[in-house]
Structure 1
Amino acid sequence: MDAPFCVQVKTRMQLERGKSSTGLLGAFQAIIKEEGAGRLYRGLVPPLLLEAPKRAVKFAANDFWGKTYMNFLGEKEMTQRLSVITGCSAGATESFVVVPFELVKIKLQDKSSTFAGPIDVVRHIVRKDGLLGLYAGMEATFWRHLWWNGGYFGSIFQVRAMLPKAQSPQGQLLNNFISGSIGGFIGTVINTPFDVVKSRIQGTAKVPGVVPKYNWTYPALITIFREEGAGALYKGFVPKVLRLAPGGGVLLLVVEFTLGIFRKALGPPYL
């Protein structure tokens, strides 16, 4: 199951209320049977458009916050504690870029969605709630990205320290892939409950005069836990981790390769 299927199935599983009646394959089969295979690709334009700027902001912010904290604390080298704090700060920064794209994606991938496409969703939201309506679910998105990046970058630091030192460029590539994949897995374990809450908040239509059932992140976590059990907080975990664990490894490879090119071109003082 490739990433497009994982994105759609994950969202459907997270929006499902009550105890899950289907697993990964069940949800996948149900979408094809009831709505057709084309539905698996619905809502993929926003995350595809977001991918490049999101990754750029993630690593630029991680580099910025890392240097800022090291200078502030007088540290000469990155530590485990700093790597976690830096990752969390990068995730918090990244969340501001992500929210509108995630909101449009959720609105399109909801089973009951009748929107014609991304532009239709944006027009509807702006007409109904104004431009700030595109930032519905900002608080939940903030926590989702803060915890994923904290787990991802913090794990990478620790795993790299535990792995045998690479003796060749190929060995370094392998170490980076392993570190990034483990980081992606751990980040997903930590942030999935926040992702479930974010999907619920962004997927719920606002009714004037009615307080939404899922409004703020931490109270919503408690509500889901009480009503649906702990397992509900990990709805969509399997398709999510299938995408983000190896994706975290590939991401680190690409970033390290790109940074290597710039280091050679600009020299150490600039990176």
Structure 2
Amino acid sequence: MSESAKEQPLPFAFQFTAGAIAGVSEILCMYPLDVIKTRLMLQVGTGGDQYKSIFDAFRRIVKEEGPRTLYRGIIPPILVEAPKRAIKFAANSEYGNMYLKMFNLEKMNQLVSVLTGVSAGITEAVIVSTPELLKIRLQAKENAGRYNGMTDVIKKVYATEGLRAFFNGLESTIWRHALWNGGYFGSIFMIRDVLPKPESKQGNLAVNFVAGAIGGTIGTTLNTPTDVVKTRIQAHLPSHGPKIYSSCIPGVIHIYKTEGFMALYKGYVPKVLRLGPGGGILLVVFDQVTTFMRNHFM
């Protein structure tokens, strides 16, 4: 997504491949923080056997459950990373072209960059909602020993909760991805516009990483409350009793009233530590792969 990469649109297949490589690279590097984030988000109240911090969670997970637990539930997100990241970047480009024509603009501006990000996020959410549910079920501490991998989760969810259960949390997932992508791509546009144009390959890498990392941090700050609600909705089992959260905004209000504002940011530290640098990794890898493809295949 460098300036040179915008001169000639890449075919969808190239966008798909670059997005897949960027997504899988990011998740392999940063996934353990996602497991810790989920554990912290599912904690209600204080005291007891709860994790005291990100470091306490990491230490106890490794000690009590083994280091492999830090990669529990990674298969669903890896399987969905190719279409997910392809849609994140390719849909952002397509929506950008659509809005430029709709508003009769010659180039992107701040408002359009946010709007394209939100639109791409909504599209992305529809793809990732069900794999997210499977991942959450595998990551939840109380489910240790309940499931024997992704296939077993699918079988048991269908048998005990029905087909509709696979779409639990879809609305909250849409909120989560719309806010993150809007913040991410909107920030990237703003930061690239403010920073001096790089004059070297190393400078371009640095600008991309900084822009992506700041964008990832802003997106994470915007969407964490909706992510907390989404995680709790998708972790809910019939054995837990009646559902507490019916949808995203009422869920945010309920958590605020019953647990306080800070509860809406449970898991924020591991999440931002993942998606801040992770946003930089995504942008750098995507830009490098698309540049390679442009130089060698076009």
Shared fold by TM > 0.5?
A: yes
Report the CA distance shift for 1:117/1:21 in structure 2 as closer, same or farther (over 3 A).
closer
1:169 equivalent in alignment to 2:169 = no
Q: Does 1:77 align with 2:104?
A: no
1:199 Cα deviation after fit: 0.4
Match of 1:171, SS? Answer: helix
> What is the CA–CA distance in structure 2 between the aligned matches of 1:266 and 1:9, rounded to whole Å?
41
Deviation readout 1:174-219 (Å, 9 max, x if unpaired): 11111111101111111111111110000111369x7510110001
Query: Mean Cα displacement is larger for which, 164-173 or 150-159?
Result: 164-173
Q: What is the count of residue pairs matched by the alignment? A: 265
Tell me how far apart the structure 2 counterparts of residues 206 and 82 of structure 1 sit (CA, whole Å).
42
Q: Distance in 2 between matches of 1:124 and 1:84?
A: 39
Residue 38 (structure 2) aligned to one of 3, 8, 11: 11
1:153 counterpart residue number? 185
2:281 equivalent among 242, 245, 250: 250
Q: Cα distance, 1:52 vs. partner?
A: 2.1
Q: 2:137 is matched with which residue?
A: 107
The residue matched to 1:112 in structure 2 has which SS?
helix
Question: Cα distance, 1:60 vs. partner?
Answer: 1.0
Find the partner of 1:196 among 206, 209, 228. Answer: 228
- Specify the alignment match of 2:19 in structure 1: none
Q: Which has the higher contact order (CA 8 A, sep 6+)?
A: 2
Q: What amino acid is aligned across from residue 98 of structure 2 in structure 1?
A: T
Match of residue 266, structure 2, among 235, 238, 243? 235
1:34-68 per-position Cα deviation (integer Å, ceiling 9, x unaligned): 33333222212112222222111111110111111
Deviates more, 1:42-51 or 1:114-123: 42-51
Mapping 1:53-92, distance limit 5 Å: 53-92=83-122
Could you tell which deviates more after superposition, 31-40 or 5-14? 31-40
Deviation at 1:264, TM superposition (A): 4.5
* 1:44 matches 2:74: yes
Q: Is the 8 A contact 1:6 1:240 kept in 2?
A: yes
* CA–CA distance in structure 2, aligned partners of residues 68 and 211 of structure 1: 43
Instruction: Look up the match of 1:24.
Output: 54
Matched residues in 2 for 1:211 and 1:93: separation?
Answer: 30
Is 2:40–2:51's contact at 8 Å kept on the other side of the alignment? no
TM-score by length of 2: 0.84
Aligned residue in 2 for 1:118: 150
Q: Point out where structure 1 has 5 or more consecutive residues left out of the alignment.
A: none
Q: Provide the alpha-carbon RMSD of the alignment.
A: 1.9
SS of aligned partner of 2:246: coil
Distance 2:160 2:105 in 1: 49
Q: Corresponding residue for 1:219?
A: 250
Residue 180 of structure 1 contacts residue 249 of structure 1 at CA under 8 Å; is this kept in 2? Answer: yes
CA distance in 1, matches of 2:188, 2:31: 26
**Given residue 256 of structure 2, which amino acid in structure 1 is its aligned partner?**
F
- Give the deviation of 1:223 after TM superposition: 0.8
Q: Aligned letter for 1:121?
A: V
Counterpart-to-counterpart distance in 2, 1:34 and 1:248: 31
Tell me, yes or no, if the aligned pair for 1:18 and 1:227 is still in contact at 8 Å.
Answer: no
Does the 8 A contact of 2:31 with 2:274 survive in 1? no
From the superposition, tell whether residues 9 and 131 of structure 1 become closer, same or farther in structure 2 (CA, over 3 Å).
Answer: same
Tell me: CA distance 1:36–1:258, structure 2 relative to 1, closer, same or farther (3 Å). Answer: closer
Aligned to 2:17: none
Residues 38 and 207 of structure 1, relative CA distance in 2, 3 Å threshold: closer
Match of 1:179 in 2: 211
Contact map agreement 2:212 2:280 (CA 8 A) in 1: yes
